[in-house]
Every structure is written in structure tokens, then in C-alpha cells.
Chains A and B, each alone.
Chain A
Amino acid sequence: MLGHLKAEDFINLMEGAEAPTAHKIHLDSCARCREVWESLKPLYAGVTSLDGDVPEPDWVEFRSSVRNELLSRSVQRQTVVRRWTGWTVRPAVAWALSLLLAVGIPTGAFVWHLQKENRAFKALRARQPLPASEMIEGTEKAVFDDMIELSDSEQAQFQQLLEAAQSGTHAYND
């Protein structure tokens, strides 16, 4: 004798597949299987009714969306790569940088050399004695230096002024 129907047998029955005659006879004679079958019928009807409500995906939109997403990720990867190496790998930038280094370094060295020579010249000039016309007058050093360079007549004149100052006439304040 045939046993109770299995789950797959019920599914086959619900989907209208060609069921064996033995299954149909059993379903008519077995109250338990018939009860299961009756309870499954509305469920099956509900499930099959959903088929019409589920809309068909827009496969064109889906492909476009996937393509956009893939492109977006690709662009993001390129941005990250450029952030680290972008400037150095671009030929135009590489040439410009090379030109800048090739011209800039010798020019900088030349200017530095000129400034160094200029500093050395200034230092040399500072060490050289200034011409008499450039000497700073009025300093204590210059007073005595100028004094000993006076001629005899000028010395006599200067001494007279000194004596006059001592005598209280203060001629030097005139």
C-alpha cells in the first residue's frame, strides 16, 4: 500500500504536474493527505497571485547602475594613486620640474657666489683705512690724531687757544 504523500508530491500536484494515478487515488481515499492538500491550496493560490505583482526588473537601468558604480570605484582608485604619484608620473610635469632644476640650481649657485664675493669685498673694504676725507671727525681718537698733524704755526695757534681757555676767557666757546 502507498504511504502518505510527501511534500514534493503536494508541490507537483499544486503546480499541475502530471501526478501518478496512485497518488490521486490515495489523495481521494486518505483523509489526512486530503486535509493537508486542502490547507495548502489557499497558500498556493496566494503565492501564485504574487507573480503578477512583482515587477520585472529594469535590466537596462540595472546595467547602467552597475556600470556607473564600477566606473566610480575606478575613478576613486585613480584619484588615490594620483595623490601619491600623479605629479611625478605626468611627463609634462616631469619635464617642467627637470627644467626648473636644471636652470634654477646653477642660477642659484651663481647668485650665491656673487653675493659671497660682494661680502668679501665689503669686508676687505671695511678693513682698509678710510681716506682722510671719510674719517669720522669729532671722536676722541680723531682729536689727538688731528692735533699731531698740525703745522708749527697751527700748533702755536692751537696752544694759544688752550691757554686762553685755561685763563678763563673760554675762547673756544666763541
Chain B
Amino acid sequence: MTKLAIALALALVSSANALSQQRLQTPTLEESVVDFYVAEFHRVVNVDPEVFVKAAPIIKEFIRARFDISARRQETLEQLRMLVNRGNSNEEDMKRAIRDLDKADADIHANQERFLSSIDPLLNTRQQGRVRIFQQVADQAMRQMLNKVQNARSANK
């Protein structure tokens, strides 16, 4: 019964991606990360199917916002790097870029806080602790995978 509920929840979570998957045949990077995060959440936090169904959309929203902020941050960072390296940069442009970068950093923290404040009420104290651990574990795992990809890139150069 539990397995059936989890399977149903996973199906619900991925239902939003169904159309795009049909169109592109392969999931996007963001969708793959969401799936990975949801699976890790289930593995580490170990919640009831009812809670899992409620938590999955929160995780998905967290990852979506995280990708948006990172894209914005990288764009701002590149712009700022260009302005700094250019000798005759407009000071106002540079100030704006700095402001945008700081805002992106603040948004990362705000997104994290929003995620925890949304998911904590669904969980007991032990599970709330596991959520924090789950995030660390998931990020470390993704870091290892990224390193593997980046090392392969370096080896090919």
C-alpha cells in the first residue's frame, strides 16, 4: 500500500513535466535535478505517503526557484566581471551589477528559508532535522557528479 502511494506521488510530481518530456523526449536538467531531489528526500527523510505528496511540490518549487536565481546570478556575475575588467566602465552600471549580484545572493537565502518554512509544518522535529541533512547529502552528491563531469572535460582538453 505504501509503495503504491509513493509511486502515485512520484507520478503526480512528474506529471507537470509530462508534456515537455513528450515534446523533447528527454527531461531537462532542472527536471532531472527535481527528480533526484525528490527521490533523495524520500530516501533520507522517510515520510508518510500523505506527507510526501504535499512535500514534493514544495521541493519542486524550491529547485525551480533555485535554478532561476542561479541563472540570474551567473548572468550578473559575468556582467560584473566584464565591467570590472573594462577600464572605463560606467560607475552606475557597476553599482547596479553589484546590487543585482547581492540581491541574487539574498534571494538564495530567502528561497532556502521559504523552502524550510513551507516544509517544516508537514514534518515532526526529527524529520525536520533530516530535511537539513538531506539537503547537505543531495548537494554533496551532485557536487561529486559535477566533479566527475568536469574532470572528464579537463581530461579531454
Chain A residues packing against B (C-beta within 8 Å) = 127-129, 131, 137-138, 140-141, 143-150, 154-159, 161-163, 165-166, 171-173
Question: Which residues in B have their C-beta under 8 angstroms from that of A145?
Answer: 70, 73-74
Further pairs besides A140-B135, A148-B74, A165-B141: 10, Cβ < 8 Å: A129-B80, A137-B143, A141-B105, A141-B108, A147-B29, A147-B142, A149-B74, A162-B32, A162-B36, A171-B145
Question: Which residues in B have their C-beta under 8 angstroms from that of A127?
Answer: 98
Number of A-B contacts (CB under 8 A): 86
Asked if residues A157 and B143 are in contact (CB atoms below 8 Å), the reply is no
Asked if residues B146 and A147 are in contact (CB atoms below 8 Å), the reply is yes
The answer, yes or no, to whether B77 is at the interface (CB within 8 Å) is: yes
The answer, yes or no, to whether B39 is at the interface (CB within 8 Å) is: yes
Interface residues of B, count at CB 8 A? 37
B-side interface mostly: helix
Asked if residues B145 and A162 are in contact (CB atoms below 8 Å), the reply is yes
Question: Which residues in A have their C-beta under 8 angstroms from that of B39?
Answer: 165-166
Asked if residues A129 and B66 are in contact (CB atoms below 8 Å), the reply is no
For the complex of A and B, list the 5 residue pairs with the smallest distance between their C-beta atoms, beginning with the closest. A144-B70, A161-B145, A159-B32, A162-B36, A172-B145
Give the docked Cα–Cα distance between A146 and B71 (Å): 10
| A interface footprint on B96-121 (CB within 8 Å = 1, 0 otherwise) | 00100100010010000000000000
Asked if residues B146 and A159 are in contact (CB atoms below 8 Å), the reply is no
Asked if residues A143 and B143 are in contact (CB atoms below 8 Å), the reply is yes
Question: Which residues in A have their C-beta under 8 angstroms from that of B149?
Answer: 150, 154, 157-158, 161
Asked if residues B141 and A172 are in contact (CB atoms below 8 Å), the reply is yes
The answer, yes or no, to whether B54 is at the interface (CB within 8 Å) is: no
Give the docked Cα–Cα distance between A154 and B145 (Å): 11
**Complex partner residue of A159 from B27, B108, B150, B152, CB under 8 angstroms:** B27
Some 15 contacts from A to B, beta carbons below 8 A apart, are A129-B80, A143-B143, A144-B66, A145-B74, A148-B71, A150-B29, A154-B149, A154-B150, A159-B26, A161-B149, A162-B35, A163-B32, A165-B145, A171-B145, A172-B142
